[in-house]
Amino acid sequence: MRLIFPAAAAAALLLSGCVATIPPGMTIPGPSAPVIIDPTPAPAPDVGSAQRSAAAQVVNIEMAKRLPGRDVAPYTACVMNNATMAEIADLATLSGSSAAADAVAAIVQRPGASQCISRIAVA
């Protein structure tokens, strides 16, 4: 006669001899607080009028370097309208730095900004 054990019973028999012993003086840590991961992205920084004004000044300076003698206000508006709030907050802190040129150039390359600038250049 042949005995057939279910897989779970066989596994239980095999593992029944496996017992972990804890050395004297060692403690087992208790359960810790669960880690909760918030799936929502962090909100973009709130851009106030002072930051927006500072960012516009940085963009004005960068645009004036590329378009000397021209009224750069419309070009600055194109850049500001196509920048994210986070980028505007960053631009406000970049006054006088070489990173300002890179930040403005990245925004100018976007389709919306480049189309806006093209319309102004034609007019």
Query: Would you list the domain boundaries of the chain?
Result: 49-122
Please tell me the distance from the alpha carbon of residue 93 to that of residue 54, in angstroms, as a whole number: 8
Tokens, residue 4: 């057939």
Q: What is the pLDDT of residue 39?
A: 60
Please tell me the distance from the alpha carbon of residue 62 to that of residue 76, in angstroms, as a whole number: 9
Tokens, residue 25: 């003086």
* pLDDT, tens digit, 9 for 90 and up, residues 21-77: 667 776 666 666 665 665 665 555 566 888 999 999 999 999 999 999 999 999 999
Give the CA distances from residue 81 to residues 19, 107, 117, in Å, rounded to whole numbers and listed in that order.
67, 10, 11
pTM of the predicted protein model: 0.61
Q: What is the pLDDT of residue 68?
A: 92
